[in-house]
Structure 1
Amino acid sequence: MTDLAGARAEVRAAFRDAGVRGWLHARPVSGDGSRWSEREIDVGADVPVVMGSVYKVLVLVAFCRAVDAGDLDPREQVTVEPGPRTPGPTGISALTDPVTMSWRDLTRSMITVSDNAAADVVHARVGRDRVAALPTELGLPGTRVRGGTADAYAELVADTGADDVAAAFAVLTDNDVPVPVRLLSPAFGSSTTAADSTRLLTLLWRGELASAAGTAFARRVLTAQVAPHRMRTGFPGTAAVAGKTGTIGAVRNEIGVVTYPGEHPVAVAVFTHAARSDATVPRADAAIGVAARAAVNPLRAPAA
């Protein structure tokens, strides 16, 4: 068995042991040249999957490109009122009063703590059509962005027959009352593939999606993500892990770039769908780290 075949077997075992369906892709970020590495780990990498908050990486790219084009001043101050703010447990979503921040800091909050309200505000500012067009422009044939978080929550409330988002999530996480929810199907909500996700990250890391300043900003905020319970658990403290999680019901994902000192970065995307919809499924979270480590290890190589 080759090292790549062995890695694929380890990834499948990690998913099986955690009781989840899983899809993964990993590839080296091939430096600054035009050559793409032919070494990869593929476990269902072209199967459509639910994005969850992973879509926010495309909003981040759209923000950087809008700044580069002079369409947006990242330092401009914007006040987000509490009334129309998208709910959520983190960032300005969790606050009560009007909040004034720069576009740049709203974008930072969108990624580092997966701030839903910040994401929808930035998404609207850079242009929903611009974000929706990015997958085609970037060569991501399996990716579709169908609205933002507020749109997804409106569908969730409608599908569950709940009065509000909190009640809808209570229904979603009740394993005794199964309800068909469109958000859990890639056919209806925002969707991607694991291979598209690593291509997106590779293009970003190679500086092909934004200016040097924009690329540095994107890398910095992804590295600052506050989510140590998934991909990060698979790697030692010496490795830098930049990433973005996505969560909705039984769906738990993370895409990221892992960099060991003196080595080429490796882009890896892990998408899972658990058998249960509990609000917390630690085994599913841990499986993302285990699978990511198994995929990254045989792809590690010294930086030239």
Structure 2
Amino acid sequence: MTTAARTAGADQVHTALSSTFAEARVAGSVHVRDLDTEAEFGHGADTRVVLASVFKIPIALEYARQAAAGELDPARRHTVTSAYRAGGSGTDGCAYDVEMSARDLAFMMMTISDNAATDLLLDVVGPDRVRATLDELGFPGFGFSSCAALDDDIRRELGLAPGRSLDEQLAGVPDERLLALGACAPGSSPSSTPREVTALLAAIWRDEAGPARACAEVRDIMARQVWQHRLVSGFPEAGVRLAGKTGTDFAVRNEAGVVTYPDGKRYAVGVFLRTSTAAERQPLADRAIGRAARIAVDHLRAGT
């Protein structure tokens, strides 16, 4: 195929993606990477984006690396106390203390994005170790944080009470103030680029991000994610497997993961959106993530 033909094909994909994002009233960035051939396609792929809970991927990786190395007992019990709970999903919304293994903290963090489990697991593995692993793997710009620290930043920005539920206090805050929060800006919230995110996923799927046992555990947990409304919506066919991690915060709607086809072909995908509203329910944006991922993956599978 000629260079001109390849360029024309890419131009059509960029147009389709721009249309998809415009219809959903979002700004979007995409990167897709063929894990076997290194072919890739990007649309704003080097734009820094807010990761939201996509930053939990390297925390899961560090847990698995330490478990594989015998530095951490995955079966050891840890207690999610009120110091960690803020009222969200999973243990984050439990009324009383919950005790579970380190492995199950990672499971809850990745499958339902449990923030309390995330913060406890981050304390167990050590933020310095997560940072060191990212740096070692060549991702010095890949950000992460505790969820509590991000919530505290929001309270300070909005002048909210530190001892009360954040969700309760956000109920009366105007949309424009929520959209202007640092949590929605890559300069003040954990961020990366779509290209960097798919590179991290590629390292995990190729057993290059740590011991093979560790990478396999991260892949297995990510394949158990429960959310079916973003990446999965673009790949409804039987036999197509997905493993991913969502990220959501006010104007931020993301998902990054790996799509595996019955023919064995694997594609790391990252779709990152900035919406025009801070509404909790944004089905148009959610579906746009699946559509954008499918458009980009289809482009690589067509060999254009």
Deviation at 1:178, TM superposition (A): 5.5
Once the two structures are superposed, residues 1-29 of structure 1 have per-residue CA deviations (whole angstroms, 9 ceiling, x without a partner) of 53333222222211111111111100111
Deviation at 1:137, TM superposition (A): 1.6
Q: d(CA) in 1 for partners of 2:48 and 2:177?
A: 26
Relative to structure 1, the CA distance from residue 121 to residue 178 in structure 2 (aligned partners, 3 Å threshold; closer, same or farther) is closer
Deviation at 1:264, TM superposition (A): 1.4
Deviation at 1:262, TM superposition (A): 1.6
Structure 2 unaligned residues grouped into runs of 5+: none
Deviates more, 1:127-136 or 1:3-12: 3-12
Q: d(CA) in 2 for partners of 1:236 and 1:208?
A: 29
User: Is the 1:79–1:100 contact (alpha carbons within 8 Å) kept by the matching residues of 2?
Assistant: yes
Q: Which residue of 2 aligns with 1:33?
A: none
Relative to structure 1, the CA distance from residue 298 to residue 68 in structure 2 (aligned partners, 3 Å threshold; closer, same or farther) is same
Q: Which amino acid aligns with 2:35?
A: V
1:192 aligns with 2:198: no
Q: Which residue of 1 aligns with 2:147?
A: 149
1:10 aligns with 2:16: yes
Q: Which residue of 2 aligns with 1:74?
A: 74
Once the two structures are superposed, residues 182-210 of structure 1 have per-residue CA deviations (whole angstroms, 9 ceiling, x without a partner) of 11111111111100000000000001113
Q: Which amino acid aligns with 1:72?
A: L
Q: Which residue of 1 aligns with 2:109?
A: 110
Q: Which residue of 2 aligns with 1:94?
A: 93
Q: d(CA) in 2 for partners of 1:17 and 1:129?
A: 42
Deviation at 1:141, TM superposition (A): 4.5
Deviates more, 1:159-168 or 1:188-197: 159-168
User: Is the 1:235–1:289 contact (alpha carbons within 8 Å) kept by the matching residues of 2?
Assistant: yes
Map residues 159-170 of structure 1 onto 2, 5 A cutoff.
159-163=157-161, 164=164, 165-170=166-171
Runs of at least 4 residues off by over 6 Å: none
Deviation at 1:167, TM superposition (A): 3.4
Q: Which residue of 1 aligns with 2:284?
A: 283
How big is the alpha-carbon RMSD for the aligned residues of Structure 1 and Structure 2? 1.8
Q: d(CA) in 2 for partners of 1:178 and 1:106?
A: 29
**Normalising by structure 1, what TM-score?**
0.91
Q: Which residue of 2 aligns with 1:266?
A: 267
Q: d(CA) in 2 for partners of 1:135 and 1:186?
A: 18
Q: Which amino acid aligns with 1:85?
A: Y
Aligned residues: 293
Q: Which amino acid aligns with 1:76?
A: R
Q: d(CA) in 1 for partners of 2:177 and 2:55?
A: 28
Report SS of the residue matched to 1:279: coil
Once the two structures are superposed, residues 23-77 of structure 1 have per-residue CA deviations (whole angstroms, 9 ceiling, x without a partner) of 11001112xxxxx61x211111111111100010010111111112221000111
Q: Which amino acid aligns with 1:227?
A: W
Relative to structure 1, the CA distance from residue 258 to residue 178 in structure 2 (aligned partners, 3 Å threshold; closer, same or farther) is closer
Give % identity. 37
Q: d(CA) in 2 for partners of 1:169 and 1:241?
A: 33
1:252 aligns with 2:253: yes
Q: d(CA) in 1 for partners of 2:302 and 2:72?
A: 38
Report SS of the residue matched to 1:237: coil
Q: Which residue of 1 aligns with 2:133?
A: 134
Q: d(CA) in 1 for partners of 2:137 and 2:172?
A: 37
Deviates more, 1:278-287 or 1:84-93: 84-93
Once the two structures are superposed, residues 108-130 of structure 1 have per-residue CA deviations (whole angstroms, 9 ceiling, x without a partner) of 01000000000000011111111
Relative to structure 1, the CA distance from residue 133 to residue 169 in structure 2 (aligned partners, 3 Å threshold; closer, same or farther) is farther
Report SS of the residue matched to 2:180: coil
Q: d(CA) in 1 for partners of 2:48 and 2:220?
A: 28
Relative to structure 1, the CA distance from residue 14 to residue 120 in structure 2 (aligned partners, 3 Å threshold; closer, same or farther) is same
Q: Which amino acid aligns with 1:78?
A: H
User: Is the 2:247–2:255 contact (alpha carbons within 8 Å) kept by the matching residues of 1?
Assistant: yes
**Normalising by structure 2, what TM-score?**
0.91
Deviation at 1:168, TM superposition (A): 4.5
1:225 aligns with 2:229: no
Q: Which amino acid aligns with 2:277?
A: R
